[in-house]
């Protein structure tokens, strides 16, 4: 297998690093590249939509799985789909999730806020979506996958076969081997369009009330928070909820973004002024006269607002940006979210894309899966160097004090101690790490040390 010396970049554009990369065209060549006799460590790579360093292995090898893009089988009666690791969620929506004449159809059981992620990437981070409170993580809907290890073993992993590797690989950050193909269970929905509502709210307490009222009957819920509003307006935002609209068909969204951010600007287009202006405008997006809007239409705008423009991450300029996402258990959720919003407001470093959501009870099958019952807050901050790192460190400390944890797929800074405290199954997981797999993230949080490798 030939490798090229190529630069790969995290989605937050903070880490750019040369890698020896190969892009196997078949599962057979992918499997042989895992067993190739070289000293370098390796890591699978999907569409690189992870914001931090979980998908990078600077100085080592990357096995870029984008060409493993074949559908293998789909049973229209049961919704069971088998495909190669590099098939994207956008591909599944476009090819498989087409409406029947009555508007109903098969749908992804769980989707993150971007459809431009691969099936293997979705498994390795055990991604969640706006319906976590009802349907849990992506991994809950994975029936089995084929995993190749550096010792040459090619294993079918499921809850009953090689079960320990199954549970370690779901949310296993690509460190247990290379996923070659997977079988997932799609979900039958009565309509592929969605009924959606946006509700403006004034306080953090309102968010928790709206989430409590909505979670039983609305499949998709999340709120945008104006994280520059302080004082009496602290925690104000817009609560969005949606559910399948029975009998109404919707065409799938395109397999590639409609537009692409055309340039790499030499300076960030986001700064305190633009973030403040954006937040003030967004807060008023429902208009002055109403606080509640309702619509029925395609799910694309509700699920994937950021996918409309490809490479939107370039707007943050050459210094890039940090994402931060935590989850805090229910008992401390409101107090911790309030404290974090106060810290952010006081710092003046606002985030445009601040999303607050409740996770529910459905258990993740992954030993290292991020979600747990509680509230999750996702933020992005333009990288301004030390002040941004200082802010992230305060948010991390509040999360840890509240018994919460950070999401590796979004993280670029958490300490090894924070990681260890947040993920109690770390030592059990470490026993399943493949000794020849590594990532920048694994080195940063001492995961390989935990595995004794």
Interface of this chain with ligand FAD, residues 358 to 377, rule: CB under 6 A: none
Residue among 173 and 302 whose Cβ is closer to ligand FAD = 173
Check residue 47 for interaction with ligand FAD (CB under 6 A): yes
Find the shortest distance in angstroms from Cβ 256 to ligand FAD: 14
Find the shortest distance in angstroms from Cβ 304 to ligand FAD: 8
Where b means 16+ CB within 10 Å and e means fewer, 256-295 reads: ebeeeeeeeeeebebeeeebbebbeebbeeeeeeeeeeee
Which tokens in the block code for residue 418? 């924070």
Check residue 128 for interaction with ligand FAD (CB under 6 A): yes
Which tokens in the block code for residue 351? 């985030």
By CB atoms closer than 10 A (0-12, 13-18, 19+), residue 151 is: exposed
Find the shortest distance in angstroms from Cβ 140 to ligand FAD: 13
Residue among 27 and 104 whose Cβ is closer to ligand FAD = 27
Among residues 19, 45, 140, 200, the one that binds ligand FAD under rule CB under 6 A: 45
The string of DSSP codes covering 208-220 is HHHHHHHTTT-SE
Quote the strand ranges of 23-171, DSSP E: 42-45, 61-64, 71-75, 80-84, 105-107, 142-148, 154-157
Query: Which alpha helices (H) appear in 284-368, and where do they start and end?
Result: 300-303, 330-347
Where b means 16+ CB within 10 Å and e means fewer, 211-234 reads: beebbeebbbbbbbbbbbbeeeeb
Among residues 72, 251, 306, 335, the one that binds ligand FAD under rule CB under 6 A: 306
Find the shortest distance in angstroms from Cβ 108 to ligand FAD: 12
Choose the binding region for ligand FAD from 46-54, 285-293, 383-391, 428-436 (rule: CB under 6 A). 46-54
Interface of this chain with ligand FAD, residues 52 to 81, rule: CB under 6 A: 54-55, 65
Find the shortest distance in angstroms from Cβ 120 to ligand FAD: 3
Interface of this chain with ligand FAD, residues 163 to 192, rule: CB under 6 A: 173-174, 178-179
Site residues for ligand FAD per CB under 6 A: 11, 43-50, 54-55, 65, 85, 112-114, 117-118, 120-122, 124-125, 127-129, 173-174, 178-179, 306, 409
């Amino acid at each position: 297998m030939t490798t090229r010396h190529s630069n790969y970049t995290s989605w937050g554009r903070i880490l750019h690093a040369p890698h020896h990369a190969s892009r196997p065209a078949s599962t057979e060549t992918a499997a042989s590249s895992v067993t190739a006799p070289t000293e370098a460590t390796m890591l699978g790579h999907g569409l690189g939509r992870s914001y931090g360093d979980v998908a990078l292995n600077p100085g080592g090898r990357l096995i870029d799985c984008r060409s493993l893009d074949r559908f293998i089988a789909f049973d229209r009666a049961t919704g069971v789909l088998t495909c190669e690791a590099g098939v994207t969620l956008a591909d599944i929506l476009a090819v498989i999730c087409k409406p029947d004449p009555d508007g109903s159809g098969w749908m992804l059981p769980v989707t993150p806020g971007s459809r431009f992620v691969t099936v293997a990437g979705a498994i390795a981070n055990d991604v969640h979506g706006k319906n976590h409170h009802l349907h849990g993580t992506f991994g809950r809907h994975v029936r089995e996958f084929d995993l190749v290890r550096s010792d040459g073993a090619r294993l079918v992993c499921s809850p009953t076969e090689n079960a320990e590797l199954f549970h370690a690989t779901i949310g296993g950050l690509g460190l247990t081997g290379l996923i070659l193909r997977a079988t997932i269970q799609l979900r039958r929905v009565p309509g592929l369009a969605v009924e959606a509502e946006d509700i403006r709210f004034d306080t953090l307490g309102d968010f928790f009330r709206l989430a409590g009222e909505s979670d039983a009957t609305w499949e998709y819920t999340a709120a945008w928070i104006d994280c520059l509003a302080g004082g009496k307006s602290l925690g104000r935002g817009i609560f969005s909820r949606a559910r399948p609209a029975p009998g109404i068909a919707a065409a799938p969204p395109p397999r590639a973004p409609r537009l692409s951010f055309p340039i790499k600007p030499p300076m960030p287009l986001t700064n305190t002024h633009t973030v403040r202006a954006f937040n003030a405008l967004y807060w008023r997006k429902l208009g002055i006269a109403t606080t509640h809007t309702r619509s029925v239409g395609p799910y694309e705008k509700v699920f994937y607002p950021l996918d409309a423009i490809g490479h939107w991450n370039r707007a943050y300029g050459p210094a890039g940006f940090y994402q931060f996402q935590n989850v805090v258990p229910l008992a401390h959720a409101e107090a911790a979210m309030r404290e974090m919003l106060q810290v952010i407001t006081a710092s003046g470093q606002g985030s445009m894309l601040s999303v607050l959501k409740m996770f529910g009870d459905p258990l993740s099958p992954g030993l290292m899966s991020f979600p747990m019952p509680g509230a999750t807050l996702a933020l992005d901050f333009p990288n301004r160097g030390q002040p941004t790192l200082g802010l992230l460190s305060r948010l991390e400390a509040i999360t840890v004090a509240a018994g919460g944890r950070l999401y590796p797929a979004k993280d670029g800074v958490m300490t090894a101690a924070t990681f260890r405290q947040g993920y109690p199954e770390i030592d059990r997981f470490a026993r399943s790490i493949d000794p020849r797999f590594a990532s920048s993230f694994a080195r940063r949080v001492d995961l390989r040390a935990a595995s004794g490798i």
